[in-house]
Structures are given as structure tokens and as C-alpha cells.
Amino acid sequence: KNRIEQSRLGATPMSKIALVDDDRNILTSVSMTLEAEGFEVETYNDGQAALDAFNKKLPDMAVLDIKMPRMDGMDLLQRLRQKTQMPVIFLTSKDDEIDEVLGLRMGADDYVKKPFSQRLLVERIRALLRRQE
């Protein structure tokens, strides 16, 4: 069914969000929040695992940590931008302004610093997805 039929029927298409972070507590709490808000969530604990999955099927958007094992968020974003313009939010404890500037210049759509408000993260995700429609 297309989006018009779904909205006419009162159903909304579930957006698939990829959550990539090596902190299991963040993966658990953020995915629970997003699922409660109606999103479908796939979690990955490093950039390489996420890239492998994205090569099979891209999500509607990604929320990436920067500092991760195997492949960090900056490398993952660089590889993603070679083939897609899907929305990407960096979610990171890196506090240096230069990292934020670099992330945005590399093609991230937003940058959220840990600790963060989950409610605000959900609204930033919704805003980016609205622009994609």
C-alpha cells in the first residue's frame, strides 16, 4: 500500500531507525523509547556491523555514536554518504566543537551530545523524517 492509502486507512508507515552505539545501556533505553513512539529499531554495537547490514537494506535514518570499535561513526558516515543521503544524527559524548563541525561538514544532519533528552532526540528524528517525505 502506498502512503496515501495508509493515511486514509488511519495507519502510518513505520520508519526504520538504525541505532549504532557501543554502549548497551544507550541501545536499550533509546530503542525502547523509539519503539514506544512507533518506530521500528535495529541496533548495532559497532560501525562495521551496521555497514554490513546497510549493504543489504538501508534504514530510513541512522543515529550514530562517533567513538566505537571496528569502525567509528565518522568512517561509517563517510561510507554511507558515498551511496545514500538518508538522514543521520550523531549521538556522542565527544564534547569538542571541532568534532561537531567535522561531523556536520561530512554530511551529518544533526549532532546530539550525551547526556541527552530522549524526548528531544525523538522530535529531532521526526523533524528529519518529515523532510524526507
Name the phi and psi angles at 100, rounded to 5. -65, -45
Average pLDDT over the chain, rounded to an integer? 88
What pTM was estimated for this model as a whole? 0.87
Nearest to 62 by CA among 87, 39, 82, 83: 87
Read off the DSSP letter of residue 82: T
Q: Are 22 and 93 in contact (CB under 8 A)?
A: no
Name the pLDDT band for 13 (thresholds 50, 70, 90). Answer: low
CB 40 within 8 A of CB 11: no
In this structure, what DSSP letter does residue 102 have?
A: H
pLDDT digits (tens, 9 = 90+) for 35-80: 999 999 999 999 999 999 999 999 999 999 999 989 999 999 999 9
